[in-house]
Amino acid sequence: MSQSEKVLTQAASRREEVLMHARRVIMRDGLEATSLRRIAREGGFTTGVLTHYFADKSELISACFEWTMRTWLDRVEGEVRDAPTAEESVCRFVSVAVPHASERHGEWRLWLNFVGTGAGDRQMADLLVETDLRWEALVTETLTRWHEAGLVSPRLPDEQEALILARLGDGLGLRALMTGDWDDARRTLVAALGAIGLPEDVARRALEPPAAEAG
Amino acid sequence: MSQSEKVLTQAASRREEVLMHARRVIMRDGLEATSLRRIAREGGFTTGVLTHYFADKSELISACFEWTMRTWLDRVEGEVRDAPTAEESVCRFVSVAVPHASERHGEWRLWLNFVGTGAGDRQMADLLVETDLRWEALVTETLTRWHEAGLVSPRLPDEQEALILARLGDGLGLRALMTGDWDDARRTLVAALGAIGLPEDVARRALEPPAAEAG
């Protein structure tokens, strides 16, 4: 109960509270096994509360994916943009693209769950592409900052290079989800930045766990 | 019946015949819904035939993944290695990494099915990593051929660049499975080859559908 109250305080609205519980159930049980009833039980409310906000499971799942990606992007956009130097923004970019903290890997697992389902679902595919446009824009903007600071010298236009980095990130996350080896994925991402000219000392720094991880 | 006879003639062994039917069922119904009973019905044999070769569903699925990847690699290794020129091997590499023919997309769908399951399964993860080593070796060898022919000039060692290309290919396939837009995925792959120096005229040729597709 006190846990539920805490969640309520954190959540901006009742709707978000539902999405928060839905996300926890999906991460734990997988999309297939998730049901409105199970989410209601998890959150300690009636299924009536759920159906007030979402017509059915499919609508709730789409909303949960959209909300998860949006809150993730709100957070990482701030983190990467606010880096005081271009070098620091490399470190932050690497640590959001291939996270260190194990809780962040849960977000990747959720993503794979959605992607696995989306392969046969037009609406989910559109939603994925749309939310990913924002990520690709952030990668482009960040790459341009490095480029202007003389940190990298890609042979392609920043936008095209960013698209390649975004899809490489997907492939790396997918592999790390299988093997559990996120350090290996991070090394490959940093190698790819080396391929567009990132100096070795910055690359080395980007591979260290962020000091502020605990904070 | 005559279809079943045809399959029997094509299959090197009864075990492969079982795997062939299993693959068809998985591609059509998904891993979750696949059962030994359903595969037996599809192939027109008893479940006893299946359990003669495979202890349970999980063993059959692992074997099916291993066999699918091995036969795919047997085919693409030959295709890419036998290219008469380095330029032609670029075209062949691109068309096996991001296939044109829609039947080949089924193999990707199957791969996503396996990867989605493998995320929580040590044995499946090991199998995926192991089979992928052969693909990464082929990419390295092919890249070295282009490199030696002066077609590309990557800043990283070929092996590291090949690893990046392999993971990029995973991310591109994943996205194309969602959107159905394989041409877009192919353009991004070819752009990534441009980023390591591939000349524009070879890039243009690699984007054309292969003439021998029908043959």
- Tens digit of each residue's pLDDT (9 = 90 or more) over B101-138: 887 888 888 888 888 776 667 888 888 899 899 999 99
How many Cβ pairs within 8 Å bridge chains A and B? 103
Chain B CA closest to residue A108: B119
pLDDT band at residue A14, thresholds of 50, 70 and 90? confident
Structure tokens at B206: 């690699």
The pLDDT of residue A58 is 87
Using the predicted structure, report yes or no on whether residue A10 has a pLDDT greater than 90.
Answer: no
What would the mean pLDDT of A66-85 be, rounded to a whole number? 94
What would the mean pLDDT of A138-155 be, rounded to a whole number? 97
For chain B, list residues whose CB is within 8 angstroms of any CB belonging to chain A: 32, 109, 112-113, 115-116, 118-119, 124-125, 128-129, 154-156, 160-161, 163-164, 166-172, 174-175, 177-180, 188, 191-192, 194-197
Give dist(CA A51, CA A45) in Å, integer.
11
Q: How do residues B19-35 score in pLDDT, each as one tens digit?
A: 999 999 988 887 878 89
Give dist(CA A9, CA A20) in Å, integer.
12
The pLDDT of residue B6 is 61
**Partner-chain residue, chosen from B124, B167, B194, that has the shortest CB–CB distance to A172:** B167
Question: Closest approach of chain B CAs to the CA of A5, in angstroms?
Answer: 32
Query: Which stretch of A140-144, A154-158, B114-118 has the lowest confidence by average pLDDT?
Result: B114-118
Using the predicted structure, report yes or no on whether residue A170 has a pLDDT greater than 70.
Answer: yes
Question: Closest approach of chain A CAs to the CA of B49, in angstroms?
Answer: 30
* Higher pLDDT, residue B166 or A1: B166
What is the distance, to the nearest Å, from the Cα of residue B105 to the centroid of all Cα atoms in its chain?
Answer: 9
The pLDDT of residue A91 is 96
pLDDT band at residue A209, thresholds of 50, 70 and 90? confident
Q: How many residues does chain B have?
A: 215
Are B188 and A167 within 8 A, CB to CB? yes
Residue whose pair of structure tokens reads 């769950």 in the numeric block: A113
B168's CB contacts (< 8 A; 6+ apart) are A164, A167, A168, A171, B188, B189, B192
| CB burial of residue B75 (10 Å; 0-12, 13-18, 19+) | exposed
The pLDDT of residue B124 is 84
A96-100 long-range contacts, CB within 8 A, separation 24+: A97/A165, A97/A169, A97/A172, A97/A189, A98/A169, A98/A172, A98/A173, A98/A176, A98/A182, A98/A185, A98/A186, A98/A189, A99/A182, A100/A182, A100/A209, A100/A210, A100/A213
Query: Which stretch of A19-23, B9-13, B140-144 has the lowest confidence by average pLDDT?
Result: B9-13
Give dist(CA B13, CA B74) in Å, integer.
17
pLDDT band at residue A12, thresholds of 50, 70 and 90? low
Question: Closest approach of chain B CAs to the CA of A116, in angstroms?
Answer: 6
Average pLDDT, chain A: 88
| Chain B residues close to A171, C-beta within 8 Å | 166-172, 174
Using the predicted structure, report yes or no on whether residue A139 has a pLDDT greater than 50.
Answer: yes
A29's CB contacts (< 8 A; 6+ apart) are A38
Enumerate the H helices of chain A as residue ranges: 2-10, 14-29, 36-43, 47-53, 57-81, 86-97, 102-118, 122-148, 158-179, 182-195, 200-207
CB atoms within 10 A of CB B156: 15
Are B174 and A169 within 8 A, CB to CB? no
pLDDT band at residue B2, thresholds of 50, 70 and 90? low
CB B194 within 8 Å of CB B200: yes
A213's CB contacts (< 8 A; 6+ apart) are A100, A101
The pLDDT of residue A214 is 42
Are B167 and A168 within 8 A, CB to CB? yes
**CA nearest to A71, candidates A36, A110, A37:** A110
The pLDDT of residue B122 is 82
Find the farthest-apart pair of alpha carbons in chain A and give their distance in angstroms, rounded. 57
Torsion angle in degrees (nearest 10) through CA of B203, B207, B209, B211: -10
Are B115 and A174 within 8 A, CB to CB? yes
Using the predicted structure, report yes or no on whether residue B192 has a pLDDT greater than 70.
Answer: yes
Are A124 and B178 within 8 A, CB to CB? yes
Structure tokens at B103: 């039947």
Q: How do residues B52-64 score in pLDDT, each as one tens digit?
A: 999 998 899 889 9
Query: Rounded to 5 degrees, what angle do the CA atoms A158, B153, A136 make?
Result: 20
Query: Rounded to 5 degrees, what angle do the CA atoms B86, B91, B94 make?
Result: 120
Predicted ipTM > 0.95: no
What would the mean pLDDT of A16-45 be, rounded to a whole number? 89
What would the mean pLDDT of B92-103 be, rounded to a whole number? 90
